[in-house]
Structure 1
Amino acid sequence: MSDRLGLRERKKRRTKQALIEAAIRLFDEKGYDDTTVAEIAAAAEVSPATFFNYFSAKDEVVFADDVLYDGLLQEAFAGRSADEQPEDLLLRTIHQLSTADAWSFPFDHELTRIRARLIATVPPLRAGALLRNASLQQRLAHALREAYPEELDALHAAALTGALIGAIDAAMHSDLDREPTTDVVLQAAEIALRGRR
């Protein structure tokens, strides 16, 4: 029985991955507004009904990995050492996030770059990213307060995490001629938390 569940889970992951890849490639080739769910499903070789088993709308495909953040953040914060300062914890967390194997594509993958460009240039995706970043920033600030209840107040935690998320977002989406890399993200995080070096 467990083998069957394992096979089923692997098949579901392959289907979800195929839908994500098909959608991002089609959004890039045809444009976000001109791509239909039916076309995404056909490119992934599944039915439109199957698409809706995984995503409720086509914009969700672009943000499919958002469900991974809380688990990855929890894992990073669990590894906190007693003498680790808040800025150091946040920088280590960003490094772990940017190099995690859990994402749909590695950070330096072509589809990661296309996804970043789509988010920067397609208004509904940009709006969705801003809302998701605001939610992520609040969850990260809450986790930081819990990790440092004596050292940080709510304002300090919000300012640190807001600066961090804002800097990374700017680095990922403001210069479309430059490819986003782990180094760029880490440099942006370092500047936000430690100032110019």
Structure 2
Amino acid sequence: MPPSALRDRKRERTRRALLAAAAELFEQRGYEETTVADIAAAAEVGTRTFFNYFGSKEELLFPDPEERVRAAVAAVAARRPGEQPVEVVLRALRAVGDTPGEHLIDDLAARLALLRARISRTVPAVSGRAAHAQLVAQREIARHLHRAFPGELDEVGAAALVGGVVGAVSGALTVVFQEGNPADGERLQRRIDETTTRVLRPWLAGHR
């Protein structure tokens, strides 16, 4: 294996170790009670090494933002015959991580999505970053949704549908996170899936 490939593999292992350490500490101690130094120590690296990978603590909750948007666009492009626009929107939002669900609870990406959704509702710095990331993702999803359903949705209609679904699900999940026990991640995950399905039922019925 070339030295460059070995270096890339080592960097990816270190990066993933930092993400895994952060997820573990955020779940156990809480986001605000965890410091960058705590995360670096748990990942067995120095604080300077941490900042070679992430610019801040909140950035850990938003890894690979461009990749997340690409995943959402791919979800729209992969729509199945007969699939409704609202179903495509939900799948795209789950791909980007704005609506956690349909993931294994021990998967690192799923854990981070769950943490991001919960923490962004209580921590202003994370909330602002989440709002910006969500706006970027919504614009791209709406743009591609319009292309996928040109006969059903114009640009305004696509943007309205994406924004409506995001608002409805986000509002409902705020209540779920207030009621849920953060330590019981599997039960919270089920509640998220159930609530999302219930909230979207009228949308699905209206688009049949």
Do Structure 1 and Structure 2 share a fold, with TM-score over 0.5? yes
Identity %: 36
Following superposition, the deviation at residue 152 of structure 1 comes to 1.4
Per the alignment, in what secondary structure is the counterpart of residue 152 of structure 1? coil
Q: Deviations over 1:143-173 (max 9, x none)?
A: 1112223431122111110112223323443
Gaps of 5+ in 1: none
Distance 1:192 1:169, change over 3 A: farther
Larger displacement relative to structure 2 (21-30 or 129-138): 21-30
For 2:203, the aligned partner's letter is L
CA–CA distance in structure 2, aligned partners of residues 11 and 117 of structure 1: 31
Larger displacement relative to structure 2 (81-90 or 124-133): 81-90
Following superposition, the deviation at residue 85 of structure 1 comes to 3.4
CA–CA distance in structure 1, aligned partners of residues 93 and 35 of structure 2: 34
Give the corresponding residue for 2:167.
Answer: 166
In the alignment, structure 1 residue 54 sits paired with structure 2 residue 63: no
Give the corresponding residue for 1:70.
Answer: 69
In the alignment, structure 1 residue 187 sits paired with structure 2 residue 188: no
Following superposition, the deviation at residue 77 of structure 1 comes to 2.3
For 2:167, the aligned partner's letter is G
Give the corresponding residue for 1:131.
Answer: 132
Alignment TM-score, normalising by the size of structure 1: 0.75
Gaps of 5+ in 2: 181-187
Q: Deviations over 1:21-61 (max 9, x none)?
A: 22234345555445332222112111222212221111100
CA–CA distance in structure 2, aligned partners of residues 149 and 112 of structure 1: 31
CA–CA distance in structure 2, aligned partners of residues 104 and 9 of structure 1: 22
Alignment TM-score, normalising by the size of structure 2: 0.72
* Conserved? CA contact 1:91–1:189, under 8 Å: no
Give the corresponding residue for 1:116.
Answer: 117
Give the corresponding residue for 1:15.
Answer: 14
* Conserved? CA contact 2:76–2:92, under 8 Å: yes
CA–CA distance in structure 1, aligned partners of residues 126 and 23 of structure 2: 12
Paired positions, count? 192
* Conserved? CA contact 1:172–1:180, under 8 Å: no
CA–CA distance in structure 2, aligned partners of residues 25 and 77 of structure 1: 32
CA–CA distance in structure 1, aligned partners of residues 66 and 143 of structure 2: 17
In the alignment, structure 1 residue 105 sits paired with structure 2 residue 104: no
Give the corresponding residue for 2:156.
Answer: 155
User: RMSD between aligned alpha carbons?
Assistant: 3.3
Distance 1:93 1:133, change over 3 A: closer
Q: Deviations over 1:87-136 (max 9, x none)?
A: 243244456664468x96264x5x65444332222222122222221221
* Conserved? CA contact 2:77–2:148, under 8 Å: no
CA–CA distance in structure 2, aligned partners of residues 95 and 114 of structure 1: 14
CA–CA distance in structure 2, aligned partners of residues 27 and 79 of structure 1: 34
Per the alignment, in what secondary structure is the counterpart of residue 64 of structure 1? coil
For 1:180, the aligned partner's letter is Q
